[in-house]
Amino acid sequence: MIARIFSISLILLAISCQSSTPDTPASEQRSSSVAASRPADRAPSPERAAAAPAPTAQPTPPRTPAAEVAPAPDPQPAPLPPPSVEEARLVFEGMQTLAAAGNPSSLVPYIPKRDRAFLHRTPAEIQAALWGKVLGGEVLGGRVVLQLEPRPEPVTGKAAVAPKPVAPPKRKGSGKGGKVVEPPPPPKFRYAVLMRRPMGFRYDPIASERWAPPDPGPADPLNRDVPLSEALGDQKGKGRLVAEIDTTEGRLTCELFPDKAPRAVTAFVGLARGLRAFLDPGTKTWTRRAFYDSQSIHASAPGAYFSFGCIDRQTCPGVGFTVPDELDLSLRHDLPGRLGLDNADRPNQGAARFYITAAPDAERDDRTTILGQCGPLDVIDRISRASEHESGSSDGPLIRTVSIRREGSAAP
């Protein structure tokens, strides 16, 4: 019995050895057998091949040259929603927490590239700059100005004494000798300026330290705000307001935006037409004349923008007054030819110096007022190149005249 079982086993082993090839793995054998059994891999029968219709040749569409294919327009980014004081406050308080940890690199996402020198200060200086409870704020375009409590005066040598409550002012005659007791001046608040960007808020350290309200200038009969209607004079009508800037490199035509930046447009028109007085730095007197005529054009940033409006191109003194910044979310520095009011990184301190962009410059958004759009672009390019080439000499481009008109009226 045992011999029979052993013989049967040897027979089965021999059969299995004959059915397999030593050089072919079993897995490949299974794949080959499965592939051979698929109906799709078999040759069709003559009957099925005759019944099947012949495939119809499809006409090949003509190929369009690559140069004739119009590129798809770039999707326009969605406009940013207006910021809020509460949003800016939460971001600023988060920055204060990061600064208190003593690691300035953690603040990199909140500081624009052009202001990264702020992070080179000592941790103590950064904490001092960001110190203070937020007491309120103001929204202007994409910029939020937070009002911070003033820093306490340093105490040296004596223990800190709690400040006494401020008494209300006394009426006339209630003080000694009948003199009026004036109330103490209001505290000097500190400010934090944040700007809304597509990726979130950014802190502007320079504007925060230099923030100041506009300065109307000293009291003088000639120093007064001239309404736009008066500055326009005989330019009647309701068409678009246009400034023609005739330069040695060609004529620029600038559409002005009095509905977006009324104060800046009024200052520009009044100074250009000689109807808004300015403080002449040479004579120290208030003067009326066509302010921009015969002035030189400066290459403030080669390839980016050029400016005009400095009586002295070396020092660029003021004109005795300033106007507030007028920021609008619908106006961005996304085009060449933007006409803006230069405030020299000092919020609300611009008046007479204006710039025209030669290329998009998003870093200027929410920092300066845009009051117009200028063209043509070839003239802007010529002025930009000439002012850059002659920036160190007196042979640079000049403004011959600036004239103002309403669209539809005769060109000057």
pLDDT digits (tens, 9 = 90+) for 264-295: 999 999 999 999 999 998 899 999 999 999 99
Proportion of the chain above pLDDT 90, given as a percent: 58
The number of CA neighbours under 13 Å toward the Cβ of 325 is: 28
pLDDT over 60 at 53, yes or no: no
- Mean local confidence (pLDDT), 194-210: 94
8 Å CB contact between 345 and 211: no
What is the rounded CA–CA span in Å between residue 353 and residue 364? 15
Asked whether residue 52 carries a pLDDT value surpassing 50, the answer given is no
Tokens of 280: 């002449």
Which of helix, strand or coil describes residue 140? strand
- Main-chain dihedrals φ then ψ at residue 163, nearest 5 degrees: -65, 145
Choose among 125, 91, 140: nearest CA to 111: 91
pLDDT band at 239 (very low <50, low <70, confident <90, very high): confident
DSSP labels for 330-373? T--S-STTEEEE--TT-TT-BSS-EEEESS--GGGTTTSEEEEE
| pLDDT digit string, tens, across residues 30-39 | 333 333 334 3
DSSP secondary structure of 260-299: T-HHHHHHHHHHHTT-S-EEETTTTEEE-S-SSTT-B-EE
pLDDT at 105 over 80: yes
Neighbour tally for 199: CB within 10 Å: 7
Supply the pLDDT for residue 46. 39
Mean pLDDT of the chain: 79
Residue 42 confidence (pLDDT): 41
Predicted local distance difference test score (pLDDT) of residue 282: 86
CB 100 within 8 A of CB 127: yes
- The arithmetic mean of pLDDT across residues 292-317, rounded, is 86
The pTM of this model reads 0.73
Task: Provide the pLDDT for residue 269.
Answer: 97
For the stretch 10-32, pLDDT in tens is 444 444 444 444 444 433 433 33
Q: State mean pLDDT over 103-131.
A: 94
Model confidence over 168-185: pLDDT tens digits?
445 444 455 555 666 666
- pLDDT-derived band of residue 311, with 50, 70 and 90 as boundaries? confident
What would the pLDDT profile of 354-390 be if each residue is shown by its tens digit?
999 999 999 899 999 999 999 999 999 999 999 876 5
**With contact defined as beta carbons under 8 Å apart, do 371 and 350 qualify?**
no
Contact 252, 403 (CB under 8 A): no
Phi, psi of 17 (to 5 degrees): -70, -35
pLDDT of residue 251: 97
Give the helix/strand (H/E) hosting 83: none
Q: Is there a contact between 296 and 394 (Cβ–Cβ < 8 Å)?
A: yes
Q: Transcribe 190-202 into DSSP letters.
A: EEEEEEEETTEEE
